[in-house]
Chains A and B, each alone.
Chain A
Amino acid sequence: MEQKTPLYDLHLRLSGKMVPFAGYLLPVQYATGVIAEHNAVRTACGLFDVSHMGEILFSGKDALNALQELLCNDMSAMDIGRVRYSPICNEQGGVVDDLVCCRMDENRYLLVVNAANKDKDFAWFKNYARGDVKIEDISDQYAQLALQGPKATDVLSKLIDVQKLPVKYYTFIDGLKIAGVDCLVSRTGYTGELGYELYCQPQKALQLAEALLQAGKEFGLIPCGLGARDTLRLEAGMPLYGHEMSDAITPYEAGLGLFVKMEKPYFIGKEALLTKNPPARIRIGLELIDRGIAREHNDIYKDELLIGETTSGTMAPYLSKAIAMAMVQKKYAVLGDVVDIDVRGKKLKAKIVELPFYKRAK
């Protein structure tokens, strides 16, 4: 039986089309539809309920050490108030999950993980963490709202003095009052736009969401569902666990080498990764030339030779193009080259293009 987020009734009131996702009932879209929701985030602002995301707290004098051994990225030179992205690897160098880590305090780190992996991650951390560190799954103590789009700051300005908001990308401020609700506000997101993620107590989430929707009306803010969340991240070339990452895909293959710090003395997966860079296959972007839409797990051919498969694909609403991400043998990953994608028995021509497909104007 799926759980409901604190905003379940609000979703129904807003005509959300509810679907089961990672153990929760969440709106895949509202009455406005995926295209309108997607474009609202690109041009104005959108509000997402991402309360399904998992929150895991590390505390204690060895919290940092434990994280250094569990995560591929280096968390050591991270000030309080900073957020950092990292993959978690298994001993073979495959990705267990990807997460963002907020440094809350001297010895306190909040990890935000994928909902579908929350239990797996928690068990993994409990199993492998060493030293004096307390690890708690505190997902039930947080609701999370993502306010994303170029007008996000304008929307918040109706509810809080914007001087108080985090300014830099990948920073956060805890204890901000927004519409009377205590929030942790981070300048992060999964859409390729300027935006904020707001964490609050579950019982306050409705009050916060309603205030944001009201404040955002004049700026074109609309509620957005999982459908738009997926097309936005895909258009922005962001990998998603279970698609571009898995326990059989290394961070190097996923194009996340930047977040693997081999100069650290030890972390789980390091030894395996020593022999896996450069990788034999890599993640690429594809833009369809022929009419049609590629989805995940479509085979890719170069001159009749199977060279890989798609990992995600959609019609990108803002770019109005069919795009896909794929994992292909590295020697065929040549920008500008044309390949064939087998879409339900039909071979469609596609061009290898640079990632991300969409980059916002700064």
Chain B
Amino acid sequence: MSFPKELRYTKTHEWVKSQDDSVTIGLTDFAQKELGDIVFIDIPEVGDQVTAGVSFADVESVKAVSEVISPVSGIVTEVNEDLVDAPETINEKPYEAWIIKVNELGDMEELISAQEYEQLTKEG
């Protein structure tokens, strides 16, 4: 399982990459392994508002539904449309398969380092 050092993480298993005044959000390697084969993702549209601590997307594996929680409040500026037809990309390349990019950032949830996150996944 990988935990890229340059990313920040949430305790709800999202990874976050900050660039200037925008953040990119995806699901971690640990999350995709826990979910199993991902077969569907319901993503927001550009222009939608997301709220820190609130779900912005549903990911579904064969067996179950899971929510993706936004670590920030802001406006969706880009969505990864490729995931709609190929949600399994999240299983294959979790750190390339970004879900949304958010701008006009407001509140932010507590983010943790790769090391802290790896520790968290070990504690189960």
Contacts and interface: CB of A to CB of B under 8 A. Distances in A.
Interface string A14-31: 000100000000001100
Nearest to B84: A291
Contact of A33 (B36, B42, B65, B84): B36
Interface residues of B, number: 13
B40 A292 contact: yes
B62 A314 contact: yes
Contact of A231 (B62, B65, B84): B62
B87 to A, nearest CB: 10
Given A34-B63, A227-B63, A292-B42, A344 B37 contact: no
A287 to B, nearest CB: 15
B38 to A, nearest CB: 10
Q: Which range contains the number of A residues in contact with the other chain?
A: 20 to 34
Nearest to A34: B62
Interface string B38-81: 01101000000000000000101111010000000000000000
A21 B89 CA distance: 30
Nearest to A29: B36
A82 B39 CA distance: 40
Nearest to B39: A315
Contacts of A38: 62
Interface in A2-20: 17
Nearest to B58: A344
14 contacts: A29-B36, A33-B37, A33-B91, A34-B37, A34-B61, A35-B39, A38-B62, A227-B62, A291-B40, A293-B39, A314-B63, A315-B60, A317-B37, A344-B65
Given A29-B36, A34-B62, 18 more contacts: A33-B37, A33-B91, A34-B36, A34-B63, A35-B37, A35-B39, A38-B62, A231-B62, A291-B42, A291-B84, A292-B42, A293-B40, A293-B65, A314-B63, A317-B37, A322-B40, A344-B58, A344-B65
In order of increasing CB-CB distance, the 3 nearest A-B pairs are: A315-B39, A34-B62, A35-B37
Interface of B: 36-37, 39-40, 42, 58, 60-63, 65, 84, 91
